[in-house]
Chains A and B, each alone.
Chain A
Amino acid sequence: MPLYTMLLAAATASLFRMLAAYVLSVLTALLIGSAMAKNKTVESILLPILDILQSIPILGFFPAALILFVTYFPERIGVELASIFLIWTSLVWNMIFGVYSSVKSLDPSYNDLVKAYNFGHAARFFFIYAPVSRRSLIANSLVSWAGGWFFLTSAEVVSLGSSEYRVTGLGSFIIEQFNSGNLLGFYLGVALLLLIITLTYFLIWNPAASKNLGLNLPSFTAVYDKIHDIVAATWGELGELSLVVEKRLKKFEKILGFLIRLSILVALVIFALNIIAGLGSIGLPNFLPKMLAVLYEIPITLSRIVFILLLSLSLSLLVAFISYRSVLLGGALSIIGEILASIPAIIWWPLLAAIALRYSYGAYIVSLIVFLQGSFWYLYFNIIVYGLSSIRKDLEELSSVYKIRGVPFIRYVFVPSLLPSIANGALSAWGGAWNASVVAEYVVVGDHSIDIGGIGALLNRLAIQGDAEGLVVSALLLSSVIVLINKTLWSRFFKYIEGKYGGED
């Protein structure tokens, strides 16, 4: 196949894969998020599970993807589904939490409304829970869409031990071109990828954010308006259809409710049995050294992440202050941010291979860039996009009346106003950095493998050895440690920020 045809086929495939994963994410986020917000049992079961799943790096999902899809489906379809599933795992969690908190914070009088006027489940979902989640879904889509592209290569080239599965796509195309020494193909692939990412932001996400969130991001609205009409019409039809279906099924309500509950229970039991069987087959003697290895590697990555977070914070505050001073510059910086944030991690390695392989500290420099890329943007987006618009007009007027400028302004007005969004951004950046460790600490470039140690490198080594149990156990342990730190350190930090800087209302 000629290069250009291959390139186009790869780009189309990746775009459709991203779209499929995205649509799937929106639907799961709406269903799971509103179920969690409205049902105490579902909430108490799913909230801790989602906390853990959210912190599992994409490599940790490889065994699940392969077992779930490649084993049970014909290979080509199975691999495709596995790839979409992996992209879904890097999009969906923050969207679920977004829907959950939107529906949860819905005024209780709406509960009375739906009860007083006999709204069924479908009516509640389509007319209340889904619309109330719209803003948070869009805000989260901006971040998720970048995250999906960032891990694209990891989702398109799935390897576990000796078995490697590839799907046609830009992520796999770029890495293949580089490995076969075809630099023209490599650079064309990177260029096309950047073009697609830029276009999707200009044409879809930025207009969506501008129209729904009151933000001012550079955008073209014509395409978005068409897409919006199509989506709104489809969603409306879907809503009407489910109203009809629910009405028809009303007679069987009790039986259906029982069946649904029964099947969830059965699924949970099977799931638990599998986990117990899995743990049993690993056996304690094998299990302990693996856990110790994880606990040994975590501090190495932790120290890197703390450094990255401090660096990200200072950089984004600097950029925030610059774009606060100039609206034009702010707009330009936000689109540059969106594009840079979406560059798949693995591209940096071949792109900067010269540095990584030539100098003794080269690998650390490239690793730093990849780490930064996987975390910096969360802070950046939160501060630039959400933080700057939350600086209150009256405080600005106060500062200009009393001539508070320069450093005192930054110290007493600017930074305190931004603190709630800094805290939100820092928490996401922290999670993002852990996830990025699997692409920042280990990579195979051509014939060389670069390994700078740490938990991300460990997970990669386990995947290459084909040690599926070790991979899952280590990923779970890592994510439990992260959740533990979140629940102790971060939650205190949040309480403090919320109490002191959360605003008057």
Chain B
Amino acid sequence: MSGISRGKVILSLRNITKSFTEDSKTLKVIDGISVDIGEEFVAILGPSGCGKTTLLRIIAGLEKPDGGEIIFTSKDARIGFVFQFPTLLPWMSVLENVALPLRVNGLSWQEAKERARKYLSLVGLASFEDFYPRELSGGMRQRVNLARALAIEPVLLLMDEPFSALDPLTAESLRSEVLDLWLWGVTSVRTILMVTHSVDEAILMADRVIVLTARPAKIAGIVDINLPRPRDRRSADFQALEDKVYELISS
């Protein structure tokens, strides 16, 4: 088990706990999670409904934890969030959808659109800026979702099962595009935290995989993925890591 992050620490979680109350029953979903995240690509892996999405939402500030601390070490704590579903505004064009968060946070429309254009072309949608969401395919909408998150130039990028709502072929090509953007370092992103329930996806993409237990979520183990990229799913090393992760899940 490896609890040591790579590079300088960007984000520290200290003993995060969270419960939900439903029909007067209290359900503990997160039970004391502590981890340091550096400048790296981390996958959070766990069975469905284990609270991994809740953990991500707590880090994003969408929900408050019952206990524990979230510490951002960098001064600029901008966070980008890639939603599971594209969540685009149907009455706005692709360009406006990406520019809106920038406009709302202080840029003029002109500046916001200029920057939105840059990130739309990074995700390969430069020629679609005047399209409306309903005119795009599922994969393209998810790219807009990604561009919107990148455009606010975050240090930390959170992704909530970003490929799970796509068909397998589209998901695979978007995975390699995200990896390319990450490896080229063309964006402001220093750290990616991705929630997934696919062991294969986690090992294919991440530097470290945090495996969570079933509800309430605790850290079952952390697996370092020291494979060179691009990774080959059929290689013996990949298979060995898969076995290791599955062992952690079933224990």
A109→B85 contact, CB < 8 A: yes
Give the total of B residues in contact with A, Cβ under 8 Å: 20
A215-256 Cβ-contact flags toward B at 8 Å (1 or 0): 000000000000000000000000000010001000000000
> Could you tell me the distance in whole angstroms from the C-beta of B145 to the nearest C-beta in chain A?
10
A131→B91 contact, CB < 8 A: yes
Q: Can you add 14 more A-B contacts, CB < 8 Å, to A112-B81, A134-B91, A243-B104?
A: A109-B84, A109-B85, A112-B57, A112-B83, A113-B87, A116-B61, A116-B62, A117-B105, A117-B152, A118-B101, A119-B101, A120-B104, A123-B104, A127-B100
- List residues of chain B with CB within 8 A of the CB of A113: 83, 87
Q: Which of A109, A118, A123, A243 contacts B87 (CB 8 A)?
A: A109
Tell me, yes or no, whether A128 is within 8 Å of chain B by CB.
yes
Tell me, yes or no, whether B227 is within 8 Å of chain A by CB.
no
Cα–Cα distance between A238 and B100 once the two chains are bound (Å): 16
- List residues of chain A with CB within 8 A of the CB of B101: 117-119
B62→A115 contact, CB < 8 A: yes
Tell me which residues from 75 to 111 in chain B have a Cβ below 8 Å from any Cβ of chain A: 79, 81, 83-85, 87, 89, 91-92, 100-101, 103-106
If over half of A's interface residues share one DSSP class (helix, strand or loop), that class is named, otherwise mixed; here it is: helix
Cα–Cα distance between A243 and B106 once the two chains are bound (Å): 9
Residue of A whose beta carbon sits closest to that of B109? A240
Provide 6 A-B residue pairs closer than 8 Å at the C-beta atoms, listed in order of the A residue.
Answer: A117-B105, A119-B101, A120-B104, A127-B89, A127-B92, A131-B91
Residue of B whose beta carbon sits closest to that of A114? B104
Q: Which of A107, A109, A112, A117 contacts B104 (CB 8 A)?
A: A117
Tally inter-chain residue pairs, CB-CB below 8 A: 46
Which of A113, A116, A131 is packed against the most chain B CB atoms within 10 Å? A116
Tell me, yes or no, whether A493 is within 8 Å of chain B by CB.
no
B106→A116 contact, CB < 8 A: no
Tell me, yes or no, whether A110 is within 8 Å of chain B by CB.
yes
The 3 closest A-B pairs by CB, nearest first: A117-B101, A116-B81, A131-B91
- List residues of chain B with CB within 8 A of the CB of A110: 87
Cα–Cα distance between A337 and B81 once the two chains are bound (Å): 50
B60→A116 contact, CB < 8 A: yes
B87→A131 contact, CB < 8 A: no
Residue of A whose beta carbon sits closest to that of B61? A115
- List residues of chain B with CB within 8 A of the CB of A116: 60-62, 79, 81
**A112-B57, A112-B83 in contact; A118/B105 too (CB < 8 A)?**
yes
Cα–Cα distance between A109 and B100 once the two chains are bound (Å): 16
Q: How many A residues are at the interface, by size bracket?
A: 10 to 19
Cα–Cα distance between A131 and B57 once the two chains are bound (Å): 26
> Could you tell me the distance in whole angstroms from the C-beta of A31 to the nearest C-beta in chain B?
19
Residue of A whose beta carbon sits closest to that of B105? A118
- List residues of chain B with CB within 8 A of the CB of A115: 61-62
**A112-B57, A127-B89, A131-B91 in contact; A118/B104 too (CB < 8 A)?**
yes
- List residues of chain A with CB within 8 A of the CB of B87: 107, 109-110, 112-113
Tell me which residues from 98 to 145 in chain B have a Cβ below 8 Å from any Cβ of chain A: 100-101, 103-106
Cα–Cα distance between A107 and B90 once the two chains are bound (Å): 12
Q: Which of A112, A118, A128 contacts B89 (CB 8 A)?
A: A128
Cα–Cα distance between A117 and B154 once the two chains are bound (Å): 11
> Could you tell me the distance in whole angstroms from the C-beta of A383 to the nearest C-beta in chain B?
28
A119→B104 contact, CB < 8 A: yes
Cα–Cα distance between A118 and B101 once the two chains are bound (Å): 8
A12-32 Cβ-contact flags toward B at 8 Å (1 or 0): 000000000000000000000
Cα–Cα distance between A127 and B97 once the two chains are bound (Å): 10
Cα–Cα distance between A225 and B109 once the two chains are bound (Å): 25
B62-75 Cβ-contact flags toward A at 8 Å (1 or 0): 10000000000000
Tell me which residues from 94 to 114 in chain A have a Cβ below 8 Å from any Cβ of chain B: 107, 109-110, 112-113
- List residues of chain B with CB within 8 A of the CB of A128: 89
B106→A112 contact, CB < 8 A: no
B62→A131 contact, CB < 8 A: no
> Could you tell me the distance in whole angstroms from the C-beta of A214 to the nearest C-beta in chain B?
13
Cα–Cα distance between A131 and B88 once the two chains are bound (Å): 13
- List residues of chain A with CB within 8 A of the CB of B105: 117-118
Residue of B whose beta carbon sits closest to that of A128? B89
Which of A107, A109, A117 is packed against the most chain B CB atoms within 10 Å? A117
Residue of B whose beta carbon sits closest to that of A108? B87
> Could you tell me the distance in whole angstroms from the C-beta of B156 to the nearest C-beta in chain A?
12
A305-318 Cβ-contact flags toward B at 8 Å (1 or 0): 00000000000000
Cα–Cα distance between A123 and B60 once the two chains are bound (Å): 20
- List residues of chain A with CB within 8 A of the CB of B60: 116
Residue of B whose beta carbon sits closest to that of A117? B101
A114-145 Cβ-contact flags toward B at 8 Å (1 or 0): 01111110010001100110100000000000
